[in-house]
Structure 1
Amino acid sequence: MKTSLKASTCAALLLGGMAAPAIATAADSPVTGRWDAVLSRNGTDIPFRLDIKGDGPSLQGVFYDGFKPYDGTTSASFQNGNLVLNVDHYLTTINARLDNGQLNGTVSAENRESSANYTFHAVRHVETAAGPAGPAIAGTWIIPLSSPSSKGEKAFRFVVQQNGGEVAGSILRIDGDTGSYTGHFKDGKWVLSHFDGGRPGVIVVTPKGDGTLEIQQESARPAKASSDYGSEAGAPDGRYAPALVAYRQDVAKARGLAEPDDFLNHTKVVDPNAKFTFNFPDNSGKLISQDDPRFKGKVVLAVVTGTWCPNCHDEAQYLVELDKKYRDKGLAIVALNFEEPDQQETLKRQKAFVKQYGVKYTYLEAGSPAQMWEKVPQLNHLDTWPATVFIGRDGKVKAVHSGFASPASGAFHEQLKADFTSRIEQLLAEKPVVAEADTPATGKALALNR
């Protein structure tokens, strides 16, 4: 699908009627305030809200994920009419020139998930009267797939929040959600889009007379080789189908339509009685294994991840919270990080990622995405980014959670947090197992919690 809306019309449709812009002060830059911005590539326009605040060293660009602000830029400058906004944790840069009150330029995105160059245009936001509310579509919808995704899924979820005529919708798949696509109702449809420094995209949602929603999606991203990211090359992938149909959850169930995959049953451990092992270098090149003192006898979350993966960005922010809460209680988190070969020498994006999110847990360099199965052979059907492995104090895998549902997924994110914390606390409550060498002369291991 190629969107036919012009950039200026698309921005007005998507962004009109939202909250009032930031008020510039004498200390602010000439670009400070709220902008209606548009990325364009291959005939597709992707509108998004961009707020700019501060001046000089404090200049910052703020993106939005749905209704919530996302402080996305890692550095920014405005000199001699030229604006530069850097989003280093996505390797994205906006370069634009302020001319006659408008910003025009380019967006370069080196992130392999969305590697591309876009044209960039932004105008000052002007408040307009709220448009029609549109039909009520809030809630969870099921999207059955005409052919399985490259990960074997037969259905996705479409999670919608609605505020009058403004909608925030997210497609939730086994590896996580798309981020929150946001927009307004006009001419019988919602044009929803998303850009937070990564995963730019636009979907058009049209309510049909039979109660379904037609979802047309266009990411404006170049195709990537699925084999590089944990899928079989050439496999049909329903996730990128240009047109999808969504059914209310109860209707889908009544009709016996396919259900989305279970996050806890998609990836399984090969041998539940074997210890989960790893041995990868840290950033200094030192090999770190599961026997390192920082992991020995602790509850461990081993996360298969990569900083090119937007859903891994979502999860890292939550893992930082878990690390702060449970580190002193016996939890250790380790990222088994898979970066593209051209990133492995400098780790530029990873370093920015760690800094942006305040990551204090261990990062190990496991290899490239294509090496995932080779480097983590203990898991079956491992094909999601991220995948979180829950390991007990005995070193054995207790559960594997595929993907990460971000706050854009609403109740599914809350359920994920409840499941994670419940499982962690249950594992922490279990007493350590004394190693065989530490037991009495009988030579038998003694489990202290028996």
Structure 2
Amino acid sequence: MNKNSLRKYAFYALLSAAVGTQACTSSSSSPDQLSAGTWRGTIEVSGQEMPFNFTVSEEAGKQVAHLINGEERILINEISHSQDSVRLQMHIFDAALIAKVEGNKLTGRWERKDQATPYSLPFTAEHGNSSRFSQNPAKPTLEVSGKWEVQFTDDEGKTYPAIGEFVQKGNALTGTFLTTTGDYRYLQGEVAGDQLKLSAFDGAHAYLFTAQGNPDGTLAGDFYAGQNSHETWTAKRNDAFQLASADTLTYLKPGFDRLDFSFPDLSGKKVALTDPQFKGKVVVAQIFGSWCPNCMDETKFLAPWYAKNKDRGVEVVGLGYEVSPEFDKAKVRVEKMRDRLNVTYPLLIGGTKDKELVAKSLPALNHVLSFPTTIFIDKQGKVRKIHTGFSGPGTGKYYEEFVQDFNKTIDQLLAEK
């Protein structure tokens, strides 16, 4: 090689190295990175703007986010980037926020795939805005703290009862609604003038509640959820109001005293309640779905409870009912829930989430009214109690009462011979 060739070779080598270095530098300081701090997001829910908040920070050298709903913080640790866009995978749910990054603004969509017909809704976010609804809300003329008797009415005129529990501090408002099938988890919002607004976003479920105070002290408003769900609601103060007992809504049909099932576990092996691992033990059978927020709350309770109590002669088994009828797809969703929530009790795939099909797979039950449904089975294999729905930690004292009652039931069954 002559001197000119050597000079050309050295030049191109340096040029290649420079380009390579520049490429590495560009990817490591990509403009699609999210700014750290607080963000205010909005999703168009049933034609209404539903606000929520989230934070972005760095943990273990990578960006993470936390969805904020009152006291709740939901970790989002799957954030990926592509060119000028970002994708936030919504933890255990088959849903994501996908948006173009434009400085301190995001514009994109909320995509939800855990439905028979997947859909996406417009999503935007602004960095540095910590307000939920209003930055400067009007002085409240309502005081809504306390317990309310609530009635929801859907667009077809069907009604159902609920309990509203609210805590108001000035303009700030938190609370939840409890129904016979579960609760609406942690709600956060404001009271401005005679208007009430609450919202919640857990990654796969977007809720917006609005209401106006009436001269007679009652409330009347609207509830929007997801793509096209709308209901109206009214409320009046009633400290004595109670819902039907969750232990009376689901029961065994006449002629049955046991639950019978045989479903594949996540490895495909059939598991039945008659298997040796359950013989002579108290068993808690959990009807759940990885798509269900109340099931997520119950599993967050059951997983550590089982780890602490499994040596007492008690077993927990989860009967999963998913969106997809395909075992391999359903398995992936349940595995993600298992890993995220540190579940060590067996999880089985029972079928799809259609309640009529769920009831057919468990023919001893009169129906399956709600996810989750929790079935208590004694040492002899007999069903002793069935609890419909779940009041999660967002319900405060109602959750504490559930935990006390759950432990009391288990203790009683374990004490039996």
Q: TM (normalized to structure 2)?
A: 0.83
Paired letter, 1:48 = F
Taking a change above 3 Å as real, the CA distance of residues 287 and 317 of structure 1, as seen in their structure-2 partners, is same
**Cα distance, 1:133 vs structure 2:** 4.9
User: Partner residue of 2:47?
Assistant: 43
CA contact 1:74–1:356 (8 Å) conserved in 2? no
CA contact 2:114–2:323 (8 Å) conserved in 1? no
SS of alignment partner, residue 266 of structure 1: coil
Q: Deviations over 1:312-349 (max 9, x none)?
A: 11111111122122111111111111112355332332
**Cα distance, 1:55 vs structure 2:** 6.6
SS of alignment partner, residue 54 of structure 1: strand
User: Partner residue of 1:331?
Assistant: 314
1:403 aligns with 2:389: yes
- Provide structure 1 residue ranges, at least 5 long, that are not aligned to the other structure: 1-28, 224-239, 254-258, 432-450
User: Partner residue of 2:378?
Assistant: 392
CA contact 1:178–1:199 (8 Å) conserved in 2? no
Q: Distance in 1 between matches of 2:110 and 2:233?
A: 29
User: Partner residue of 2:188?
Assistant: 182
User: Partner residue of 1:380?
Assistant: 366
Paired letter, 1:181 = L
Taking a change above 3 Å as real, the CA distance of residues 273 and 120 of structure 1, as seen in their structure-2 partners, is closer
Q: Distance in 1 between matches of 2:248 and 2:334?
A: 29
> Which residue of 128, 135, 138 maps to 1:125?
128
> Which residue of 51, 61, 68 maps to 2:65?
61
1:232-243 equivalences under 5 Å are: 242-243=231-232
Q: Distance in 2 between matches of 1:243 and 1:77?
A: 38
User: Partner residue of 1:349?
Assistant: 333
Q: TM (normalized to structure 1)?
A: 0.77
1:245 aligns with 2:234: yes
**Cα distance, 1:110 vs structure 2:** 0.8
Q: Distance in 1 between matches of 2:182 and 2:340?
A: 21
**Cα distance, 1:147 vs structure 2:** 8.6
> Which residue of 344, 347, 350 maps to 1:363?
347
Q: Distance in 2 between matches of 1:309 and 1:129?
A: 35
Choose 123-132 or 60-69, whichever is displaced more: 123-132
Taking a change above 3 Å as real, the CA distance of residues 95 and 290 of structure 1, as seen in their structure-2 partners, is same
CA contact 2:41–2:52 (8 Å) conserved in 1? yes
CA contact 1:189–1:204 (8 Å) conserved in 2? yes
Q: Deviations over 1:121-141 (max 9, x none)?
A: 111234656763553212221
1:313 aligns with 2:320: no
Which has the larger strand fraction?
A: 2
SS of alignment partner, residue 390 of structure 1: strand
SS of alignment partner, residue 380 of structure 1: coil
Q: Deviations over 1:78-126 (max 9, x none)?
A: 4654322112411111122221321112211112289420111111234
Q: Distance in 1 between matches of 2:137 and 2:251?
A: 49
Taking a change above 3 Å as real, the CA distance of residues 343 and 307 of structure 1, as seen in their structure-2 partners, is farther
Taking a change above 3 Å as real, the CA distance of residues 410 and 100 of structure 1, as seen in their structure-2 partners, is same
Q: Distance in 2 between matches of 1:123 and 1:263?
A: 42
1:99 aligns with 2:105: no
Paired letter, 2:385 = A
CA contact 2:285–2:316 (8 Å) conserved in 1? yes
CA contact 1:114–1:222 (8 Å) conserved in 2? no
**Cα distance, 1:359 vs structure 2:** 0.9
**Cα distance, 1:40 vs structure 2:** 1.6
Q: Distance in 1 between matches of 2:147 and 2:88?
A: 35
Paired letter, 1:139 = G
**Cα distance, 1:373 vs structure 2:** 1.2
**Cα distance, 1:57 vs structure 2:** 5.4
**Cα distance, 1:294 vs structure 2:** 2.1
Larger Rg: 2
Q: Distance in 1 between matches of 2:87 and 2:206?
A: 19
Taking a change above 3 Å as real, the CA distance of residues 61 and 174 of structure 1, as seen in their structure-2 partners, is same
Paired letter, 2:178 = L
Q: Distance in 2 between matches of 1:79 and 1:33?
A: 21
1:283 aligns with 2:266: yes
Paired letter, 1:267 = T
Taking a change above 3 Å as real, the CA distance of residues 329 and 300 of structure 1, as seen in their structure-2 partners, is same
> Which residue of 83, 89, 105 maps to 1:86?
89
Q: Distance in 1 between matches of 2:122 and 2:186?
A: 22
Taking a change above 3 Å as real, the CA distance of residues 261 and 366 of structure 1, as seen in their structure-2 partners, is same
Q: Distance in 2 between matches of 1:326 and 1:140?
A: 35
CA contact 1:393–1:427 (8 Å) conserved in 2? yes
Q: Percent of aligned pairs with the same residue?
A: 26
**Cα distance, 1:369 vs structure 2:** 2.2
Taking a change above 3 Å as real, the CA distance of residues 372 and 30 of structure 1, as seen in their structure-2 partners, is closer
Q: Distance in 2 between matches of 1:53 and 1:343?
A: 37
Taking a change above 3 Å as real, the CA distance of residues 215 and 170 of structure 1, as seen in their structure-2 partners, is farther
> Which residue of 404, 412, 422 maps to 2:398?
412
**Cα distance, 1:142 vs structure 2:** 1.2
SS of alignment partner, residue 379 of structure 1: coil
User: Partner residue of 2:167?
Assistant: 161
RMSD (Å) for aligned C-alpha atoms: 2.7
**Cα distance, 1:356 vs structure 2:** 1.1
CA contact 1:133–1:166 (8 Å) conserved in 2? no
CA contact 2:52–2:69 (8 Å) conserved in 1? no
> Which residue of 173, 176, 180 maps to 2:179?
173
Taking a change above 3 Å as real, the CA distance of residues 134 and 110 of structure 1, as seen in their structure-2 partners, is farther
CA contact 1:272–1:396 (8 Å) conserved in 2? no
**Aligned pairs, number:** 379
